[in-house]
Amino acid sequence: MFTSQTSSFQDSIDVEERDDFDSEEIAGYNQKIQLNCYYTIYLYQGTRSEATGENVAWNQRRTDSTTSQDDFSLTLVDSSLPSEAEPELRCYISRRLSKGALLGGMGNIATVELSVPEQAVGCYCCLLEQERSPEQPDADGNGYVICFMGGSEKGLNLYPLLTLRMELDKYVQGLQSSLQTPELQNLETEVRPYLSRWYEESVMHIHRVVQLVHSSISFLLHAALSHIHVEVINSDEKTKADVSRFIKAASLQGLSQQDTTTASLCKAISEDTHSDLIIDCSTSPPTLSNTVSNRFCDDWIQAFLNAAERCNPFLLRQILENFKLKAIQDMNSLKRFVRQAEMSHYALFRCCQFLQGCGNGDVLLQNARAEHSDLPEACSIIAVLEEFLREQSKAQA
C-alpha cells in the first residue's frame, strides 16, 4: 500500500508557494546561493573503558581541545569549522552524549547555532564505536563522533531528513576502515579528504545529474518510475554513480508496504520488452538513446532546471520527493477507481478520464498490473484501461 502527503500537482511542483514559507524565505530561494559546509571529527572515550596508550597520549597533547564528563571524554581530532565555532559544537555534542541521544552507527540531524556566517546550520552527528573486547563486553566503548554541517536551518527543512540521515549514515560507514590506524596517522591522506567530500558526495549528486542532462531529466524520471535500467557509457565512475543514485532516489521502490508488490513489478518489467535507457557521455551534452517519457514527467522539467540554476541542492531534493509523492497519490487514486470499477461502469469511465488527465497512465497501469496480478477481476479492468490508453495514443499520433 502506498502513502501520500501531497494534495495536488501544483502544490507538489511549486515548492515556493507552500504556506509554511514566508516571503523572506521565498525570496532567498529565488536567488542563486552559495552554501558553506563543514565537518568535525572527535575522539570519543568512555571513561569506564580501559584507555589505550595511544589514546592517552593523544589526550595529553590535546588537553585544550578535550571536554570531559563523568562517563566520557571528547577530544577534537580535526575540523573545518572556524576556531571560535568548534568549542560550541563540542559543547552541543557533549550534551547529546550525556543524554544518550547518539546511538552507535545511527546519526541524527538537528539545527545548531554556531559562530559561522549562517548562524544556524543543519548538523548531522554520528557515533562510530570501535569493537569492544571480549574481556569487557559491558564496558563503555571508544570511538569517533563525526559531524557534518551544511546549508541553513531553512535549507535543511527543505531536505527530507530521513533520506538525508540514511545517506549520511552510509557515507560515514565508508570511513570505518580508515579509523583503525594508530593515532589516525592517515588523517591527512585519507580521513580529512574523505570528510571534506561529504557535501559533494552525499548532497550534490542530484544537482550534478540535472546539470548533466538538462531538459532530458524527464527521461530519467520516467525510467525511475518504470523500473527501466539506465546505463551510462563513456563516462567516469563518479558520473555513473551519480546517475545510479539519482535513479534510486527517484524510484518508488521501498515505498510499498508489501514486498510482493515490488517483486511482482520487477518480474513484470523483465517480461516486457523494454530497452535500457542509454546515456552516452562522449558528446556534450550527452546523447540519450531509447528515451521514453510522458506528460507527467515532462511537466516537472522546469522545476528541476530552475532549482539547479539556483544551485540549491536542498530544494532540488525536495522537488524530487514531491515528484514521487505526486506519483504515489495518483497510484492510490487509480487503485481506488479500479476497485470501484469492478462494480460500476461509471467508475470505469472515471478511470479512463483520470488516466487521460494525469499524464502518467502508462506508469500507473504498469504498477497496478503488477500489484493486482493475483486478482482476476482487477486484471480484466486494467486490461480494458490499457486498451483505452493504446487507442488514445493512436488517435493522437
Nearest to 239 by CA among 281, 276, 197, 278: 281
Q: Percent of the chain, pLDDT > 90?
A: 40
Sheet with strand 287-289: strands edge to edge:
230-233, 277-280, 287-289
Q: Following CA atoms 266, 268, 274, 276 in sequence, which dihedral angle do they give, to the nearest 10 degrees?
A: 10
- pLDDT at site 356: 87
| Most confident listed range (89-103, 105-119, 293-307) | 293-307
Q: Is the pLDDT of residue 18 over 80?
A: no
Looking at per-residue confidence, does 195 or 8 come out higher?
195
Q: Is pLDDT larger for residue 395 or for residue 96?
A: 96
Distance CA 259, CA 246 (A): 22
Contact call for residues 119 and 113 (beta carbons, < 8 A): yes
- Mean pLDDT across the stretch 327-337? 91
The Cα-based distances of 20 to 25, 75, 163, 259 in angstroms read 10, 40, 21, 35
Using CB atoms within 10 Å of the CB of residue 309, give its burial: 0 to 12 exposed, 13 to 18 middle, 19+ buried: exposed
Lowest mean pLDDT among 20-34, 189-203, 204-218, 338-352: 20-34
Give the confidence band of 28 by pLDDT, cuts at 50, 70, 90.
very low
Express each pLDDT in 53-78 by its tens digit. Answer: 555 555 555 555 666 666 788 999 99
Cis peptide before 285 (omega within 30 of 0): yes
The per-residue pLDDT for 246 is 95
User: Does position 2 have pLDDT exceeding 90, yes or no?
Assistant: no
- Cβ(129)–Cβ(141) under 8 Å? yes
Q: Residue 100: left (phi > 0), alpha (psi -120 to 50), or beta?
A: left
pLDDT in tens, 150-168: 865 555 555 666 677 888 9
Give mean pLDDT, residues 96-106: 83
pLDDT 10s digits, 361-381: 999 999 888 887 778 888 888
Q: DSSP strand E in the chain: where? A: 37-46, 66-68, 72-79, 108-113, 120-129, 142-150, 230-233, 277-280, 287-289
Average pLDDT over the chain, rounded to an integer: 80
210-266: per-residue pLDDT in tens?
A: 999 999 999 999 999 999 999 999 999 999 999 999 999 999 876 554 444 544 555
CB of 147 closer than 8 Å to CB of 39:
yes
**Residue 246: closest CA among 269, 222, 273:** 222
* Contact residues for 190 (Cβ-Cβ < 8 A; gap 6+): 178
Q: What is the pLDDT of residue 394?
A: 73
